[in-house]
Structure 1
Amino acid sequence: MMSVIENRAIPILSESAIIPMYNLLKANVVRSRSPFSVILITIQKSSLKNPAIDETAKEFTALLQRKLRQTDALFSLDHKNKMEWGIILAQSGEEEAGAFLQRLHEEVHLEMNQGDRTMVSYAIGVMEVRNSGVPWPLLIQAGRRALQQSSFPSAWHIDYVGVAKQQEREAVKVSIIEDDEIARDILETTIMRMKVDHVKQQVRSFQDGLDFLQSDWFYSSHPHIILLNDILPRKNGLEVLHALRAMPNNGKFFIFMMTKRNAEEDMIHAYELGVDQYIPKPFNLRLLESQMKRVFVRLWS
């Protein structure tokens, strides 16, 4: 749950200043797997008498500035409209945004429900962003449409708008390093047919360790699953394993060692060198598929 710390008031940003922040958060949302939320809030003007409008706007703005974190942002889409506010809650999905709004509602009830303002009605649109492909204008258009269609059924009405909630599929590389052509083809076909939520597997096969190490396939930052035979004609599996674990970003690799050696000492040695999963041959293809699906899920979560 998002914690709210009383701190110095955050500034109110213009739309031109908030768009770069949105684009930066959006660009990192897939890799970090951490959504953020954009919130639009408006007050129904007809619920206020004219003398109370400016005072209510000032008090509500000050309340938002006090309650938001320094990592969040408060912005205005139209400097002429004093009754509309925008918020970006960093690293907060709609559940955390809902909790924040609940606490904000309690503060509004305690601090601002006086005199003419007891009948103020707020309409709120919450947009959780999990998709890096949604541009700012489309997001704001969807949020404003939700606010415009709101009939203010209650004094504090929230609409959750799913325009940017659909998660993108993340690319996960899979390398099959196996000298047996038939085994390579079977493994490649099996992996390509696997269906895993939010994951798009990119599969390449190599006939030996040297072929793999001379490629540039494993240098990218993508999560990378390696199916590695231990006995290969050039650069055996242990040599490939050593080269991968010597890389500074070797945590991106999940390495399956396929081998006919099933002695306990061989397994211990492989694990000590950095193997993640030891697969004695012959192995059950369905079991391997299930194990790989679990790895895909772990790489995503």
Structure 2
Amino acid sequence: METEKYQKMIYDRMQDNLQKWEEREFITEQELYFFLHSLKGTAGSIGLNELTTVASEKIEPLKETDEKHWNNSEWKSYLAPLIEGIGFYQKNFNMHKVEQEELYLVKNKSEKEFILVIDDDIVFITFIKELLEEKGYSVIVAHNGNRGLELIYEMKPAIVFLDIMLPDINGFAILENIIKKAKKERMFIAVMSMNDSKQNRMRAYDIGALDFIAKPIDSDILISYVTNRFAYQTELEQSIIIDELTQMYNRKYMNAQLQNLIQQFTRKEEPFAVAIVDLDHFKKVNDTYGHLIGDDVLQGFANLVKTVKREQDIACRYGGEEFVILMPNTSAEEAYVLLERLRETMAKKYFTANEINFQVTFSAGVVDSTTVNLHPKKLLEEADQALYYAKQSGRNQTIIFDELVGDVKKCITIIVVDDVFIIRNIMTNHFATWHPSDKYDIKVIAYSDGLSFMNSNWYTPDGKYIILLDGMMPKMDGIEVLKKLRENYSSSNVIVSMLTSRTSEEYVLHALESGADDYIVKPFDIREVSARILRLINRVFI
């Protein structure tokens, strides 16, 4: 991967920072410390080892929490080697023109699980993101701890790279908060910090982090690390067949048993049915009562399934609040009777949180095995289509797959919010005729400003949305729109991608802090945007 663009970004960012300081009467020693701390951790990772050396020397006598005032002449004198380096770079370094490309596009189309990077340095996370995405990994970034916590709970990353020094929450506090969940979900948590003291390493390992990676990082080693951890995770999942939270069989075991049922059908024509069950409005349970109560609901439902199901039935946790039940020697009609008995029993069950009783229902889709659909992917797709139909038809019901259900496509709404007519026109015309798959019905809506968008009736609870949101607009700024969106909607059904230019770095930072899932750099190639959106749909919504 070319590093010149990131070297340019870091020099430009330094220059912008120093120019802002020049306009002020003084800066604090704490500001000086954090400036050098960020520089030390990022510069070496992108080949600017001299900057790392200077930053390391300059940060040594400073105190992280000191509010001492430094006037212009004092900090300029202290940072003279860095200021001279910026001038030399601007005058003599023949930087090739940096293409305005979309930094979040995964060029390798492999469907690998994604990585979450929680770090407040925009140059560093952009560099890491492109480095790993060139190898086919999906990467999401969080620019502060609160957003990182939200994404961990909403999207369950496979690997989390966690910086210690964040603007809102100490990285160790985040680690303590998520370690139990990380172990249950078998996430790899790696603390990544410039301060790799023995004390910090010990603390990270004592809390439960699996790794500690010192900044500046070596790109080749990081890629090898990620490859190693994914390979290990695959082996680990294959060796474990029980979901820890629900004590039901897991997805790996379900896949193996589904293959066995298909083989039995082929050899002996033994019929079987496949059902997918999804708890209704489960996000609302988590948002209202908390994730621990949400876990109690999942466990309660799992226990109920074990009580109601027949001995021959194989019940598995498919992922999140979705479950698969395999029913040997069973027709879809017979499976329907079993599922309805389970559904009615579940609807009568009460859960308790803070002395408040509440109920949870589920929707289910079921399909028969036939000679036409005798493939794991096809069977699960048809059961999922029936489930989708059940949800679209009002939830709390069981639907058997048939030709009518099979014609129902999943609706994905792409919303473009941008005050530039040309951009709106290009996107709406493109996506209006975009057909990435027979499984999806793509709808596109455009708004010329954030206010008209927020005042419209764009949202329905059963919908799935990808919002392409411009950062700078009249009437209501894009960041303000983003914050309001994140107050009400999670990334599980509303994905927000900010549209910005490379020179407007502040919008990228604000977007990540405020809950953006992605960002697209203007000008962009509409085909690359389409490829990125398709990956988001396949990973998050399906």
How does the TM-score come out when normalised to structure 1? 0.50
Q: 1 or 2, which has the higher helix percentage?
A: 2
Bigger relative contact order, structure 1 or 2, given CA contacts below 8 A and separation 6+?
1
